[in-house]
Structure 1
Amino acid sequence: MEDKTVHLAPSCPIGGIRWNTLWSKMRNSCTNDLGVLQSISTRLVTMQSSSDRSDHSGLFSGTLTQLLAAVSGTLFAISDGMSYGWTAPIIPYLISESSHIKTTKQEAEWLETLIMVGSFFSLPLTIYLVDKIGRRRSMLAAAVISLLCWIIIALAGRMLYIFIARFLFGTASNMAFVAAPMYVAEIADHKIRGFLSSIIYLMMLVGFVIVYSVAPFSPFYTVPVIGVVILLIDFSTFYYMPETPYYLVYKNQIKEAKQSLQFLRPGKDIDDELNDIIQAVARQKTEQGRLSDLLTVKSNRKATIIMLVLNGGQHMCAISVVLMNLHLILKEGDSIYMPPEYVAIVFSVVMLVSSQLASLQVDRFGRKILLVVSTLVSGFCLLVLAIYFSLKDSGYDVRLVSWIPMAAVMIYAAGFKVGLGIVPIVITAEIFSARVKAAGMTIADAWYVVGSIISLQIYQWLSNAYGLEAPFYLFAVCSFLITLFTIFCIPETKGKTLEEIQMMLKGESDELAAIRSRQKYSTFVNEIGC
C-alpha cells in the first residue's frame, strides 16, 4: 500500500519562512514551557510534602509567642477555678465547731451566691473597661482584684470580710472571662485559635483540681496563699505582653498594632495581615456600636442566638447541678465505692484531662463535631442517671449496679468537657464583630451566670416535687436538642479568619469564596516563585 503520509521537509519554505526555522522555534518554546511545567510540578510536590510534614509536626510552628501570651494571660483562671470550687470543701469546715469563723448555714449559702451576684452587677463596668482601657489592661486589673480577694480571705476574722471578697471575686471573674477570650481570639493565628482559646478553661480546671486536693486536707489559709502566688506570677509575666493588634487598630494606633503583630508573628511578613486587620476593623466599624445592634444586624443576631443557646445550654446540660450537687447525687445513688472527697478529686482530674484532649483537637476536627459528640455523650449519661433513679424510687433493688451513678458522672465529666466545656467560649470569642464584641462577650458571661441560677432552681424544684430523676430527664432532653441545634444552626469556624466568620454569618458566601480563592492563588504564586 502506498504511503500517503505527507512529509514536510525541514527546508521547505512556507510563506517566505523556512520550515526548519519555525520548527526550531516551536521546539524551543515547547521545551521551555515543559521546563516551567516541570518546575511547577516539582514545587507543588514539595509544597504537598511540606504540608504533610507540617500536619504531622503539629499546629504550633511559629506560634510560640502567641502561646506565651495566651498562657501568661490566662493564669488568673487557675485562681478563678479555685475561688469557684473553694466553697465545696471549705463550707463543712466553716459550719463546724472547730471553725475560727463561726458560720451559719444561711451564711454558707451566701458564700456560693455572692460570687455570681458580683459577676452580674459588674456587667456595666466590664463593658466600659474592655473597650476603654483594652483587653490586656482589663485582664491585669482583674488579676489585681483577685489578688486582693485572696489576701482578704487569708486574713479575715469575720464573715463580712469573706462576703466582700466573694463579691469582688465575681467582679474580677466577669472582667477576666470577658476580656481574656477576646484577647486570645484577637492575637491568635487562625490555625491554633481554637486551642489557645480553650486554655482558659484548662487553667480553670487546674484550679478545681488544686482546691479539691488541698483544701480538705490543709489549714484554712493554704488555698489563699496558693492563689496569691499564682496571681503574682500571672501579673508579672502578662504585664510584658502586647495589646491585641485588633484593639490597637480599633483605636487607630497603627504603629503599635504593627509592633504587636511583629511580636506575635516573629520572622514573618506581617504587612498583609495588618492590612487585612485594618480593612476588617474598618468594615466592622460601619456598623453602629449600639447594644441594639446585637439584634438588628443580621450577623450579630445570629451570633447572639448561638451564644445564648451555647452558654445557656451548658447549664441546661446540668454542669452546674452536677458540680454543686455531686456529693448528694452519689449519696442518693448509694455509691459506696469511694468517699465524696476523693470522688471530687477524680471528677476534676477527668474534666481536666478530657479538656486537654479537646483543646488539642478543636483546631483539627473543628468545633461542630466536638459539640455533637459532647452533647450526645452528656445526654446519654444524664438519661442513664434518670433511669437509675427511676428504678430505685420504684422499689427495684439496685445494689448490684450501685456503681452506675459514679460511672455515669465520670463519663459525663469527660463527655461534657470534650465539647460543651471548651467550644462555647471558643465560638463566642470568634463570632461577634469588633464593634459589638465587648457587649456580646459581656452578655454571654452574664447569661452564663443566669443560666447557672436557672438550672439550679429547676433542679431544686423538680427534684423536690417529682424526685431526683425528673430534672435529669429534662436535662437529657435539652442535651439532645442542643445536638440538633449544633448540626443545623452553628457554622464551622475552624480555619477561618475573624473577618471570614463575619462574612459567613452575614451570608456573603460569594465574597467569602472570592477571598479564599485569592488567598489560595496568592499562596500558590508565592510558593512557585512567580
Structure 2
Amino acid sequence: MFSIVGMFRGTTPQLIAVFFSTIGAISDGMHYGWSAPFLPVLEGENSPVTISHSDVTWLETIYLIGGLAGLPVTIFCVDKLGRKASILLAAAVSLVAWILIAVANNVWYIYVARFMTGLSGDVAFVAAPMYIAEIADKNIRGFLAGTIYVMMLVGILVVYAVAPYAPFYVSSIIGAGFVIIQLVVFPFMPDSPYYLLSKNKYDKAKEHLKRLRSSGNVDKEMEEIAGAVKRQRSERGRPQDLVINKGNRKALVIMIVLNAAQHFSSISVMLMNLHSILKEAESTYISSEIAGILFSALMLIAATIADVICDKFGRKALLISSSLLSGISLLVLAVYFTLKNTGYDVKDLSWIPIAAVLIYAAVFKFGLGIIPIVMTAELFPAKVKAMGMTLADFSYLLFGLISVELYQKLSDAFYLDLPFYIFSASTLLTAMFSWLYIPETKGRTLDEIQFILKGEPVPERKPSSQLEKVENGIEDKDITLTHISKSDTSQDDVPVK
C-alpha cells in the first residue's frame, strides 16, 4: 500500500528549503486580498488616508498593472540572477511596499506600494516554482509545487482576519514579518543545482545537491541534471512555433481561455471587493468581515483537497463540475441583486448572497481555481515551454485587469447584478469549452499529451518502468509501492501561476 511516510522519508532538507522559499507567498497573498477589507476602511469616516471614489478602482488595478510590468523583469531575473536571488529580490521589494503602506499619510504612498507588490508577486510566482521543481525529489515534486499556492491562500485568510479588527498598520507589520523571516533564513538554503550547472558551476552544483539529498552519492543524479541542462540549451523554440505547430496552438488557446475564465468567473473581483459586495447585499445573518474569513478559509481547504485528488479524478471532471457550480452560484448572486435593485423586499432572503459567495469559494478553488495552474506545465513541450508559460502569465494578468475594470464600470453605471450575470454566463461557457475542447491529461506522459493535442494516435506504451508493471498487473515480488508514485513518469516541470 502506498506509504505517505515512505514518500517523505529523507526529504527533510527539501521540505525546509521549500518552506522558506514560499513563506513570502503569505505576504503576496495578503497583498492580493488587501483591497477587500481595507477599501471600506479607507472610505470610512476615520480613514487614516483620505481617498476618492476613483482611487478605489485604481488601487485595485495598479496591483495588476504592476504584475504586467513585472513580466520582463521576471524573465531577466530568473535567468541572469537565478531563482534563489530572484526570490530574495521579490521579498525585498515586498518589504519596502509594506513599509510604505504602514507609514502612508497620502494615497500616493499606497499607489506606489501596490504597484511594487504586483511586480514583486509576479517575480516570486515564477522564480519560486522553478526553484522548487529544480530541488525537489520526483516523488514529492507535485506536492511541493502546490505549496506556494497554499501559502498565498493562507495570506488571504490572514489579511481578511486581521484587517477589519486591528489598526491600519498592523497588517503591514504581520506581512513584513513573513518577508523578514524569508530574507534572514532563505539565503542559507541550498541553491538550484540546475541553475548552478547552467552557469558551469559543477562543483558548487554538486555540493548544493548533496545538501538537498539524504544520500551522499549524487553522481547519477548529477549526470541526469547535466543531460537535462544540455538538452534544454539545444531545444530553443521560436516564437512562431507557438502558432505554426498544431499542438502548441491548441495548448495556447486552452491556456488563454482558462486564464480568462478564471478572472471572468469573478475571482479577482471577489478577492478585491468581497467586503463591499456583501455590505451592499445588506445581509443581517453574519457580518461581511466574518464572511470574508469563512470565504478565504473555504478556498484554502478546497484548494488543498483539489491538489491532492486531481491525479485521481482527472483535470477535466474537476474543471467542468467546478465551472458549472461556480456559474450557478454567481447567477444566484446576480438574481438577488436584481431583486434588491427593483425594490423587492429581500430582508428574508439576505442569507442568499452569503451562501452564494461561500459556495462559490469552495467550488471555484476545487477545480477552476487550481486546474489551469496544473495544466500550464503539462500542455507546452519543453522547447516552447518558457514562451508559452510567459504568454499564459501575461494573459492571466491582462484578463484580471480587464475583469476588475469591467466590474467597476458596470456596477457604477448600472448595478452589481449586471457584471455578475456576465461572470455567470462566462463561467457556464467555460464548462462547455472544457467538455468539448480540453483533453484529459490525467495519467498521461508529457509526450503522450503532445500527440493528443495534435489529434494523432497515442503510441502504445510498453510497461518499462516498475510503476507501469505494477499498474498493468505484472507480478514482481521485489516491487512495492512504498517509494513509487505517479511522478516517476513526469518531467521537471511545474506551473507558474
TM-score, length of structure 1 as denominator length: 0.78
CA distance, structure 2, for counterparts of residue 139 and residue 504 of structure 1: 35
The structure-2 alpha-carbon separation of the partners of 1:510 and 1:85, relative to structure 1 and needing over 3 Å to count, comes to closer
Pick aligned residue for 1:472 from 420, 424, 429: 420
Preserved contact between residue 7 and residue 139 of structure 2 (Cα < 8 Å): yes
CA distance, structure 2, for counterparts of residue 122 and residue 220 of structure 1: 27
Partner of 2:102: 154
CA distance, structure 2, for counterparts of residue 96 and residue 320 of structure 1: 23
Preserved contact between residue 66 and residue 187 of structure 1 (Cα < 8 Å): yes
The structure-2 alpha-carbon separation of the partners of 1:293 and 1:180, relative to structure 1 and needing over 3 Å to count, comes to farther
Pick aligned residue for 1:89 from 37, 40, 48: 37
Preserved contact between residue 302 and residue 366 of structure 2 (Cα < 8 Å): yes
Query: Following superposition of structure 1 onto structure 2, how do residues 502-521 of structure 1 map, counting pairs within 5 Å?
Result: 513=461, 517-518=464-465
Offset at residue 406 of structure 1 (A): 0.8
Query: Following superposition of structure 1 onto structure 2, how do residues 145-294 of structure 1 map, counting pairs within 5 Å?
Result: 145-253=93-201, 255-267=203-215, 274-294=222-242
Partner of 2:369: 421
Query: Following superposition of structure 1 onto structure 2, how do residues 29-428 of structure 1 map, counting pairs within 5 Å?
Result: 52-54=1-3, 59-253=7-201, 255-267=203-215, 274-392=222-340, 397-428=345-376
Preserved contact between residue 185 and residue 430 of structure 1 (Cα < 8 Å): no
Offset at residue 411 of structure 1 (A): 0.6
2:145 match: secondary structure: helix
Offset at residue 122 of structure 1 (A): 2.2
Preserved contact between residue 290 and residue 436 of structure 1 (Cα < 8 Å): yes
CA distance, structure 1, for counterparts of residue 203 and residue 246 of structure 2: 33
Compare 258-267 and 404-413 and name the one that shifted more.
Answer: 258-267
TM-score, length of structure 2 as denominator length: 0.82
Task: Report the residue type matching 2:72 in the other structure.
Answer: P
CA distance, structure 1, for counterparts of residue 426 and residue 41 of structure 2: 36
Query: Following superposition of structure 1 onto structure 2, how do residues 2-41 of structure 1 map, counting pairs within 5 Å?
Result: none
1:362 match: secondary structure: helix
Offset at residue 230 of structure 1 (A): 0.5
Partner of 1:16: none
The structure-2 alpha-carbon separation of the partners of 1:221 and 1:361, relative to structure 1 and needing over 3 Å to count, comes to same
Compare 301-310 and 68-77 and name the one that shifted more.
Answer: 301-310
Preserved contact between residue 294 and residue 300 of structure 1 (Cα < 8 Å): yes
* Sequence identity (%): 50
2:368 match: secondary structure: coil
Offset at residue 319 of structure 1 (A): 1.0
CA distance, structure 2, for counterparts of residue 157 and residue 267 of structure 1: 55
Offset at residue 396 of structure 1 (A): 5.3
Task: Report the residue type matching 1:113 in the other structure.
Answer: T
The structure-2 alpha-carbon separation of the partners of 1:70 and 1:464, relative to structure 1 and needing over 3 Å to count, comes to same
Preserved contact between residue 178 and residue 442 of structure 1 (Cα < 8 Å): no
Offset at residue 412 of structure 1 (A): 0.4
Task: Report the residue type matching 2:64 in the other structure.
Answer: M
Structure 2, unaligned runs of 5 or more: 480-497
The structure-2 alpha-carbon separation of the partners of 1:220 and 1:472, relative to structure 1 and needing over 3 Å to count, comes to closer
Preserved contact between residue 192 and residue 363 of structure 1 (Cα < 8 Å): no
The structure-2 alpha-carbon separation of the partners of 1:246 and 1:311, relative to structure 1 and needing over 3 Å to count, comes to farther
CA RMSD of aligned residues (A): 3.5
Offset at residue 127 of structure 1 (A): 1.3
CA distance, structure 2, for counterparts of residue 297 and residue 140 of structure 1: 37
CA distance, structure 2, for counterparts of residue 281 and residue 162 of structure 1: 42
Higher relative contact order (CA 8 A, sep 6+): 2
Compare 63-72 and 80-89 and name the one that shifted more.
Answer: 63-72
CA distance, structure 1, for counterparts of residue 391 and residue 20 of structure 2: 25
Offset at residue 513 of structure 1 (A): 2.6
Offset at residue 107 of structure 1 (A): 3.6
CA distance, structure 2, for counterparts of residue 319 and residue 189 of structure 1: 33
CA distance, structure 1, for counterparts of residue 171 and residue 400 of structure 2: 25
The structure-2 alpha-carbon separation of the partners of 1:439 and 1:318, relative to structure 1 and needing over 3 Å to count, comes to same
